[in-house]
């Protein structure tokens, strides 16, 4: 008789374990789904932020390149102007083709 009671007790215990395992699995599923959604949103936000950060860096690089070229052109223009002024003070004429520059 005690074997029958023991086996029924084990059966009821196993049923409770199955039900508890079901709820535990459902809880883990809900938690993992929530974590996935948060990580997905975080990744999407990081993607947008990195995209605009890259655009700002690209614009800064282009502006630096253009300003560097403008500085070089300005130095060349100032040098050419200074050369023409020097030649005019010396009394020399600078000709390019048939046109006098000073």
CA distance 35 to 41: 10
Highest mean pLDDT among 2-6, 30-34, 94-98: 30-34
Separation between Cα atoms, residue 82 and residue 102, nearest integer Å: 12
Q: What is the mean pLDDT of the chain?
A: 91
Question: Cα–Cα distances in Å, from 98 out to 81, 95, 101?
Answer: 19, 7, 10
Instruction: Output the pLDDT for position 14.
Output: 94
Contact (CB, 8 A) for 94 and 100: yes
Instruction: Give CA–CA dist 41/61, Å, rounded.
Output: 30
Please check whether residue 15 is in contact with residue 7, taking contact to mean a CB–CB distance below 8 angstroms. no
The residues spanned by each domain of the chain are 2-100
Task: Return d(Cα 4, Cα 63) in angstroms, integer.
Answer: 87
Model confidence over 35-80: pLDDT tens digits? 999 999 999 999 999 999 999 999 999 999 999 999 999 999 999 9
The per-residue pLDDT for 102 is 58
DSSP conformational letter for 91: T
């Amino acid at each position: 008789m005690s074997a029958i009671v023991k086996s029924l007790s084990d059966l009821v215990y196993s049923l409770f374990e199955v039900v508890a395992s079901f709820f535990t699995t459902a809880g883990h599923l809900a938690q993992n789904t929530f974590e996935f959604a948060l990580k997905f949103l975080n990744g999407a936000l990081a993607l947008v932020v990195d995209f605009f950060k890259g655009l700002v860096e690209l614009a800064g690089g282009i502006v630096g390149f253009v300003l560097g070229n403008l500085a070089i052109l300005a130095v060349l223009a100032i040098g050419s102007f200074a050369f023409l002024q020097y030649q005019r003070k010396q009394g020399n004429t600078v000709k390019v083709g048939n046109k006098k520059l000073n």
